[in-house]
Amino acid sequence: MEFLSWGFIQNIFLVAGGLGLFLFGMKVMSDGLENMAGDQMRVVLEKTTSNRFLGIVVGAAVTCIIQSSSATTVMVVGFVNAGMLSLAQAVGIIMGAKIGTTITAQIISFKIDPIAPLVIFIGLIMYMFFKKSNTKNTGYILLGFGILFFGISTMGTPLKAFSEYDGFKILLLSFQNPVLALLAGLIVTAVIQSSSATTGIVVALYLSGVELPFRAAAFIVLGSNIGTCVTAMLASLAANRESKRAALIHVLISVIGVTVFGALIVAFPGILTWIQGNWRDEARQIAMFHTIYNVSAVALQVGFVKQIVMLVEKILPELPDENAATKKLVFLNPGIMQMPAIAVTQAHRELIRMGELAMGNLKLALEAFYETDTAKATKALEMEDTIDFLNHEITTWLVRIRGLKLSEADMERLGSMLHTVSDIERIGDHAENIAEYAINKGKYSTVFSQPAVEELRILSGVALDAVKLSLEIFKSRSITRLPEMDKLEEHVDYFSVACVENHIQRLQDELCDPRGGVIFTDMVSDLERCSDHANNIAYSILGNQVWSVQRHRLIEAHK
């Protein structure tokens, strides 16, 4: 009947509330750290070399900063999806993330919960009453840190009370079975999607005085290292083949490490005895086990990176035309929403892809026009549907990403992207117009004079160069080539005026077909507009304010 007593029910509420505070505190602390270091993390990961050891250091450092190996791995999956990291580079960073995640248990194992309320108060004051973003983020981190330990403190007394119940003792003893303990750690981590949190809960049990057998705790921690793979697997579902391979690498590294280390513990129980002998505090023992396991697992596998990559490539072989220009997003998927720092980069990559499709379609439409090739023109019209689809989907994603916690620089960058996606879509529209001219040209056997064709070819070449250069500038975000963009834009504007004047003269001299003349002027207008949009794309890297000034300058120049 003790299970029906009000005291027992009240203890359940306290444990549930304390656990909620613990998990919420971890989330708040992680978000604050990520907001403070998100931009720097992205830059560091983007510049990671193929040196696996450097990758391990970077992965460990980033995970120590954001307190989440799952978030780091999701970031890596996103970079692999974007083509910024190879699988070999991803392996090193994932290995490093497994080492970095151990810092959470080490921090929690310090018995500082008595000062948790003071930490919460200081963090709240900094977050609510200071205006500087760095100070507010620091306060947010302290707030999460304090809530985390306050949650542990809240759970302490009721957990100790539970440990006196026979049913609870039987449950803890059942975890002496390594398989059950492993499954418990795996399932709990898969649900809460954080091995750091699972390990932290185990440490909190020890801090509360619950007598959980050390062997059982060790296997729960091992299980959590497999369960944490769920987050990366989910993030890779809607991504490309390389991203799925990166997520699978995470699974393989974890399974291999757990299998080897678990077998060693069973075969040589003295490993756990040695840890218990060197660290007397039980909470510190499990924190040190977590660290020793992950460091050992990485040391065991770091020499087999190439073999791991080859195995994954055999399990998930390349599919033909996987990144074909179909109506789908390649670089944007729900998984990136867990990592705001990478979401902006992914959106940038998707915009580049859309721009390259639009440029390719413009080139195809021009070929169809000059070759009077109806098949190419039809293909260009079909491709326009894909570009329109990308325009709608990317715009929707940009709006969603703006709702995340981003730095001021990323917010400004997203604002300019919203303009850029429209400019790219308009280039696609002009390509569609040119494809329709090609079809009408063949349908009505429209004839153009030789000078008119030569002028259009020259203008087409310069306009295409402008679009190509604008995408290169947008991709590299280098302002040094903007003067080159200005020269191309001026060339297009000047030559467009010359083309129209020459066309009027040919009409007066009756040297061209009036029906062809209408298409000629429309073509000149479309190509000139393509150059204008290209200029907008190039100048978007300067941000919303400067972009607006540049746009105003262009409007004034065309009045």
- Spell out the per-residue pLDDT of the chain, length 559, in tens: 455 566 667 777 887 887 788 778 877 876 776 666 555 555 666 555 556 777 888 888 777 766 667 667 777 776 776 566 777 778 888 888 888 888 877 777 777 767 888 888 998 898 888 878 778 888 888 888 788 778 877 776 776 676 666 666 666 667 778 888 888 888 888 877 777 777 777 877 777 677 778 888 889 889 988 888 877 777 676 566 777 888 888 889 889 999 999 999 889 989 889 998 888 787 788 889 988 998 998 898 888 888 888 898 888 886 654 444 567 787 777 766 766 767 888 888 889 999 999 999 999 999 999 998 999 999 999 999 999 999 999 999 999 988 887 777 788 888 889 999 999 999 999 999 999 999 988 787 777 788 888 998 999 999 999 999 999 999 888 889 999 999 999 999 999 998 888 878 877 776 666 666 778 889 999 999 999 999 999 999 887 555 454 545 544 544 4
Spatial contact of 332 and 394, defined as CB atoms under 8 Å apart: yes
Terminus-to-terminus CA distance in the chain, angstroms? 88
Name the one residue in this structure whose structure tokens are 């418990």: 184
Give the Cα separation of 41 and 410 in Å (integer): 13
Tell me 317's DSSP state.
Answer: P
Give the Cα separation of 87 and 100 in Å (integer): 20
Spatial contact of 81 and 239, defined as CB atoms under 8 Å apart: yes
Quick one: how far is CA 208 from the chain centroid?
38
Query: Does the reported pTM lie above 0.85?
Result: no
Quick one: how far is CA 134 from the chain centroid?
23
Give the Cα separation of 150 and 13 in Å (integer): 15
